[in-house]
Amino acid sequence: MLSVAFWPFRLSFLTLLGLLLSSSCTASANEVAFSGFGSVGYSYENEPDIGYLRNISQPPDVERNGSFLPDSNFGVQVDWALNYQWSLTAQWVLEDRVEQDFNNVTELAFIRYLPDANWDLRIGRVGLNAYTAADSRRIDYAHLWVRPPQELYGSIFYDSIDGLDVTYRSSINEVNWSASLQYGAISQVIEDERTKDHSEASSDHTLAIALTFDYHEWSGRFSFVDVADLTVSLGPNSQQAQLGIAQLAQAGLGAASLEAAEIYAQSNINGESVKYWQVGLGYFDGEWQMQSELFYVAGMKQAIPQGSGGYLMLGRSIHRFTPYATVSFFEPARDIVKAQSDWGLISPQLGQFQQLIISGINSTYIDQNTYSLGIRWDIHPQVAIKGQFDYIQIHDVGYGLWAADGRSSTQGRDVQLYTLSVNFIF
């Protein structure tokens, strides 16, 4: 089983792969393939005290309304075919993220072995097979939309898994199908908007199972991901807050201490498990395109984002233009955390502390719907221009996908988000 001892392997594997790819530059052109992709996107939302995030692993900025950062990126990929069975792949992506180091910008880094026409074995860093766009989430050119629907792809911020990936592919009559299993370690650094703390959420025991099929114009998939033994390394301010809650729980202050004990239990997610179920269906006949996913996220603690959601996208190609519409939603599976007693009766400082702690737990609460209209213009075989308008209904306290502080996230609101993007591949 993979454990803490797996992490040194991760670093040494990435280093080794980098050296191998560097030395491969002397190989012949038919053995090494260089490719890349990118997006230059500007997004603007009309609310002054919240900030749009493509996903919750991006640095939150409440003061930001318009920016190139959330929807812009640049990626390069190197594929080295050693022979018809063995190959190496590495992909690096520059985008808006909390930490910009070599480990974080490395999206893919794996060795692939194809023993026969059915089996596909990969070891290293691969895309986490949790959703339809698992291998192309960063490549906006590969999709009709400006960005993946925020309700699903914004809440699942683990993009890759370091470990083993085994896939079996076959066909029955005219149905092509595959079954895959992944096991390994995941990790992501996130930033707290209120304290600017950096916290790392990780799991050394993550399992992903996926089944896919293709039949003529139709495609479908089912996936299950179990993020087990979750570990969260808190920043200094968050650690101090957790310590304060624990001390209050032991202080013998009646209702306040009882409430503090419950808050501590619900906010301490170390050792917990988060489970994701997903089912997807797609259709494309060269003119009409439909894509849909439904998902459910389950956890035992209130500090874990959990609930159900999905989206439906429909588009139609007219020469080089493809207008499309998308409807998406996230329905929370837990209640909003509310104060059960008034800590301010003990002291004003405790009253402020209570508000801060409850606001922190509710910062992961997601409750919103989005209605989108967009158009894609393929101006070149490798370049597309897209425009998209999103009308987002955020319900009370349901700002878990946005940069928002305790003051701006209590009341629901309707948000308008405008985006213009240029996507390319090379």
Instruction: Give the start-to-end residue ranges of the domains of the chain.
Output: 42-73+126-425
pLDDT band at 11 (very low <50, low <70, confident <90, very high): very low
pLDDT of residue 30: 62
- What's 346's DSSP letter? T
pLDDT digits (tens, 9 = 90+) for 62-71: 988 999 999 9
Q: Which two tokens stand for residue 347?
A: 């002291």
Query: Taking Cα atoms as reference points, which of 202, 205, 71 lies closest to residue 138?
Result: 71
pLDDT of residue 360: 87
pLDDT band at 124 (very low <50, low <70, confident <90, very high): very high
CA distance 137 to 95: 13
Residue 85 has pLDDT above 60, yes or no: yes
Alpha helix (H) ranges present in 28-71?
Answer: none
Which residue(s) pair with 67 in the sheet? 43
pLDDT digits (tens, 9 = 90+) for 173-196: 999 999 999 999 999 998 887 778
As a whole-number percent, the residues of the chain with pLDDT over 90 amount to 76
Q: Which two tokens stand for residue 155?
A: 């809440």
Contact 105, 93 (CB under 8 A): yes
pLDDT of residue 3: 35
Residue 4 has pLDDT above 50, yes or no: no
Prediction pTM value: 0.87
Which residue(s) pair with 327 in the sheet? 312, 371
What letter represents residue 76's amino acid?
V
CA distance 47 to 41: 19
Residue 15 has pLDDT above 80, yes or no: no
The stretch 396-418 carries a mean pLDDT of 90
The stretch 313-338 carries a mean pLDDT of 96
Residue 24 has pLDDT above 50, yes or no: no
CA distance 30 to 286: 31
pLDDT of residue 261: 94
pLDDT digits (tens, 9 = 90+) for 261-288: 999 998 888 999 999 999 999 999 999 9
Residue 128 has pLDDT above 60, yes or no: yes
SS3 content of the chain, % helix, strand, coil (to 5): 20, 50, 35
pLDDT of residue 28: 43
Contact 280, 272 (CB under 8 A): no
Q: Which residue has the higher pLDDT, 230 or 9?
A: 230
Average pLDDT over the chain, rounded to an integer: 90
**In Å, how far are 40, 53, 174, 210, 309 from 326, measured between CA atoms?**
22, 18, 30, 25, 13
**In Å, how far are 91, 159, 207 from 109, measured between CA atoms?**
7, 13, 19
32-45 vs 66-67, strand pairing mode: antiparallel
Residue 342 has pLDDT above 50, yes or no: yes
Residue 416 has pLDDT above 70, yes or no: yes
Residue 73 has pLDDT above 60, yes or no: yes
Phi and psi (nearest 5°) for 285?
-115, 15
Q: For residue 286, is it left (φ>0), alpha (ψ between -120 and 50) or beta?
A: left
| Helix, strand, or coil (residue 392) | strand
Q: Which two tokens stand for residue 385?
A: 């221009």
